[in-house]
A and B are shown apart, each in its own frame.
Chain A
Amino acid sequence: MGEKLRVEALTLKGDTLRFILMGCDTAFANALRRTMISEVPCMAIEDVFIFANTSVMHDEILAHRLGLIPLKTDLERYVLPERCDCGSELGCSRCRAVLTLDVSAEGEARTVYSGDLIPEDPVIRPVNSEIPLVKLAPGQALKLEAYARLGLGKVHAKWQPVSCCIYQQVDERQLEALGIDRTEGVGKAFIFTVESTGCLPPERIVSEAVKVLMGKLEEFSEKMRRGELMEEIKEFEVVEEVGRGLYRVSAEEYEEEEEEEE
């Protein structure tokens, strides 16, 4: 089919990878981009058990701030909770990592940082230890246990492994300026910029996205071949299947609410 796919790596700077993708359609480039943003799993705090919080910050705000801390992710040893065999609401060592926080301000005020979280699994730790969480006045204390889990960006942005994932279509002149050999005639060209939050190396995010997309096409192809084509479709599939802790609405309830309004 037409021209050959080509990839040219540009630079890797910190957590930002830049590469050029040539010889594919916009649909392919866009599927890759969308998958990196919303369907490559990474770790984030999901459940927080608060034993003491005498700070000025309410429990739910604190829990939300904890959820947004990027965590180093290990995709080899952890699985998505909905794919774990344990079936437990609290999870097991394969589907959750615990981090604890036990801080009090004595004598003078102090700020609690992400670095104060003590990981049970040393691999699953905050990417940056200098993220301020809350400031404690003398005498105030914080004691909690946080459960980190793998999740997908389409459920909550805290599970987005990339802080930036974009592509820009470039023309021949721009490619020449970048020193790309165009003698073969490459068709469309896209410059990708993938910036990881630090949870995974950016090149790993790209290869994981390929794996996820490949899995989808594989599943689709298999189902077509086997003729599994009369399955029941829920209208809020993602929320019902993977949206742990989210407000759950069933299609029936939704319709009832609509009728009541009328």
Chain B
Amino acid sequence: MLNYAVKRLGLSVAIVSLAMFLLFCMIYLVPGDPASVALGPRATEAMKEAMRVRMGLDQPVWVQFWNFFTGAWTGDLGEEVLSGRPVLDVVLEQLPYTLVLIAGGISWSVALGIPLGCWAAINRGSFADRLVGILSVAVIAVPSFVVAIYALLIFAVTLQWLPAIGAGEPGDVGDQLVHLILPSLAVGLGWVGYIARMVRASMLEVLEASHIRTARAFGLPERLITYRYALTIAILPTITLLGIGIGQMLSSAVFAEIVFARPGVGKLVYDAILTRNFPLVTGAVLVTTVIFVLLNLIADLIVGALDPRVRSSF
């Protein structure tokens, strides 16, 4: 397992480095002079020149890349334009809100998707199975910002069961959880559908496997067979799918944070783009990439822990 984890970690480092390279290319190739953008239209030529030197733009490309690369790996993402604070500090301040939101989305999708998919597979062909099938497609088809807006209108505005905006009182966990319900539902609802379909399909496949027939031929209780022998295998592809799906959830989080006026990295990027605060945009994207790669790593490690075949194939 350790061997597997180390190799998988190496792969993650490589992916993040590649992302940094691509991000650097993007900044470098985007038309316009970063120094002029940073200083605004009323800057003099001398000021721009000084800024270029300060930003290292007078150096050869590869030196610029190296500085960016080593800076990024050591946590130096530059300073944001408006207040001059380090970008990393600003992003990390907002990150917990987004992470909690994603965790909420995953909770919804796992807590509803796995039991529904499993239930549909066991009762294959029944009315319940077809209902789950139709509902899955429906929730997958609805974009998350639509879910966000309708959830807001129905549960917060009309019914007034749940709060409409914000992330709750700092320090009051109960209040924060109540504020999390609707935004995380917006992020996770589509994934309930994906996961239900995925679990149903892989559960049906596993239940046909000959080791399940063997387990039945030994008279093992049906519950043990379903949950310990079949579901453990059936959820493996789901965990990988979720790891990949976090990328999509991160983009849904942007909408959810805007609609519910929640603090978070999505809201931060949105505001940064509006104010042309480019170092902040770059930094936030980079941090988000690292989070995505990390969560993928965790998903793969979970699969490795559950599936001995994966462990030894590395």
B and A form one assembly: no
Interface residues of A (CB under 8 A from B): none
